[in-house]
Amino acid sequence: MIGIELGLYRVDAVRRIEAQAMALPGHDDWALMQRAGAAAFALLRTRWPSARRIAVVCGSGNNGGDGYVVAALARAAGLDVDLIQVGAIPTRAPAAQAFAQWCGAGDHVADLVALRQADVIVDAIFGIGFDRAPEGEACEAIEAMNRAGKPVLALDVPSGLNADSGHTPGICVRAAATLAFIAWKRGLWTGAAAEVCGERQLARLDVPDAVFVDIGIDARLMTSAALKSALPPRARDAHKGHAGHVLVMGGDVGFGGAVMIAAAAAARSGAGLVSVATRTEHVPALLSSRPEVMARGVSAANELDSLIGRADVIALGPGLGQSSWSVALAHHACASGKPLVLDADALNLLATRRIELSGECVLTPHPGEAARLLGCSVADIERDRYAAVRALAEQYDAVAVLKGAGSLVSDVGGAVAVCPFGNPGMASGGMGDALTGVIAAMWAQGLDAAEAARTGVLVHALAGDRAAQHGGERGLLASDLVAELRTVVNP
């Protein structure tokens, strides 16, 4: 069973969890609001201990009620507090009760100018049910918060972020930290959420595990701890045949670097043997840079038979191109029935139906490639990345990896895992080729297709983070990531 702290829930599921919790003694809506406010204030004091003046921006719903509690606690602790009301004064409990508690001490409601004097801003405008672009007064308040240049603590979800999908249909608060309540909402972990949530923490609010039992999770978070079970120490009598043979196919004229990166990544991720089928002119450079790899120049598809016969997994697509040579190689690979990891132009050939899949496959599209595969726009993909990755898995009967901030992996049955690691420095050429090689190596070493994809995405992201720690994100190269793979796959 997946632990509650790793489970990602849809908003409607969280609503059911809250309802079941509130039916228990000591967990009514007012008690939960008090705990939410206390948890948020505790985080604020821990993260910004020198803050002396805070501004709390509250909406008219229960998210605003959490904000009123934070404001009251800050006032009681001797901080200077400016409370800014967005929209109507709340009239329904428990938010109305929290507002009355704030006003009972004679405190006033400030205006947006107060944001400029704050050390920390608390965002409590919209909660998890908000799913449209902010308008009017709320839009103005969010713009002012973002312009203020002060750190923002978002309560449950940054206002303007769709908590179900991670999509921002309009302006959104850019938080330095987001404190989620009771359970993780799946939209906090992918897409635009990576930009607007900041550091993410979960406060369970003492809700007992029992209320989660009948509520299914929608997805789960990957953890670095999973590597120990997925990649145990090798047997002392192991030989290279035990670790599998990866064949990388691609590298049309002018794109030889892609297969070199994929092959290096496969080798550094633990594949016992790595071969490359590419254009003949790329072979000398490949052997010079990576002599451990068996490189062969191929001019016609029928030259592939012996290479494919020896391979356990084929990585198809890095630098493949879309020429007649490219299509012939791709056809041959797909007809082989061997396990396939598809990337780059192999995905574009699949989208245009110039190749057909057979056997087990892992697809690794970025949003643009995913849009072509599903016949929609990139905006459609980003509007609901969870739906998109499941649609890819279903339509192509394959394991699907939807790359990007918060990469998603769906198995054929639609079970989704989300990678919380990685960094913006990985948005550079060759990173997808490296991922293809890593996943192929995981598969060749005995993991099943879905676990190979999940483990490969996790390894790739962690290696990217280690590379960024050494020299920063800007200028991070795929070869820098490949150099870190060996340490990651030996947890």
Same domain (yes/no): 79, 193:
yes
Bridge partners of 109, per DSSP, are 83
Tokens read off for 298? 């191929």
Question: Cβ neighbours of residue 177 under 8 Å, at least 6 residues apart?
Answer: 43, 47, 151, 152, 153, 154, 198, 199, 200, 201
- Assess whether 210 and 275 both reside in one domain: no
Check the CA dihedral 10-458-202-99 and report its sign: negative
What CATH number did the domain enclosing 323 receive? 3.40.1190.20
Domain count, the chain: 2
Question: The CATH number of the domain where 91 resides is what?
Answer: 3.40.50.10260
Residues 301 and 390 in one domain: yes
Tell me: do 208 and 255 sit in the same domain.
Answer: no
Query: What SS3 class is residue 219?
Result: strand
pLDDT for 108: 67
Order across the sheet with 313-316: list the strands: 184-185, 7-9, 219-221, 416-418, 408-410, 399-402, 361-363, 340-342, 313-316, 245-249, 273-278, 294-297
What's the pLDDT score for residue 107? Answer: 64
Which residues is 274 bridged to in the sheet?
A: 246
Q: How far is CA 93 from the centre of its chain?
A: 36
Cβ 194 vs Cβ 406: under 8 Å: yes
Residue at a domain's end among 218, 253, 283 = 218
In tens digits, the chain (491 residues) has pLDDT values of 467 899 999 999 999 999 999 999 999 999 999 999 999 999 999 999 999 999 999 999 999 999 999 999 999 999 999 999 999 989 899 999 999 988 876 666 788 999 999 999 999 999 999 999 999 999 999 999 999 999 999 999 999 999 999 999 999 999 999 999 999 999 999 999 999 999 999 999 999 999 998 899 999 999 999 999 999 999 899 999 899 999 999 999 999 999 999 999 999 999 999 999 999 999 999 999 999 999 999 998 889 999 999 999 999 999 999 999 999 999 999 999 999 999 999 999 999 999 999 999 999 999 999 999 999 999 999 999 999 999 999 999 999 999 999 999 999 999 999 999 999 999 999 999 999 999 999 999 999 999 999 999 999 999 999 999 998 999 999 999 999 999 999 99
Same domain, 252 and 124: no
Domain identity same for 282 and 141: no
Whether 103 and 214 share a structural domain:
yes
Encoded tokens for 434? 């490296």
What is the predicted pLDDT for the residue at 314? 98
Domain-ending residue, one of 218, 249, 281: 218
Residues 431 and 483 in one domain: yes
How far apart CA 186 and CA 262 sit, in angstroms, is 31
Report pLDDT for 300. 87
Give the whole-angstrom CA distance, residue 170 versus residue 456: 34
> Hey, CA dihedral for 328, 331, 336, 340, is it positive or negative?
positive
Question: Rounded distance, CA 82 to CA 286, Å?
Answer: 63
Q: Which structure tokens are listed for 180?
A: 């989620």
Contact assessment for residue 154 and residue 58, using Cβ atoms and an 8 Å cutoff: no
Distance CA 417, CA 460 (A): 15
Tokens describing residue 131: 């799913």
| Statement to judge: residues 307 and 404 lie in one domain | yes
Spatial separation of the C-alpha atoms in residues 437 and 482, rounded to whole Å:
10
What distance, in Å, lies between the first and last C-alpha atoms of the chain? 23
Residue 1, pLDDT score: 45
Residues 126 and 243 in one domain: no
Last residue of a domain, one of 163, 190, 218: 218
Supply the pLDDT for residue 3: 74
pLDDT value of residue 110: 82
- Identify the pLDDT of residue 14: 96
Instruction: Please indicate, yes or no, whether residues 104 and 35 belong to a single structural domain of this protein.
Output: yes
pTM of this prediction?
0.96
Same domain, 241 and 185: no
Range of the domain at 116: 4-218
Quick one: 229 exposed, middle or buried, by C-beta within 10 A (0-12, 13-18, 19+)? Answer: exposed
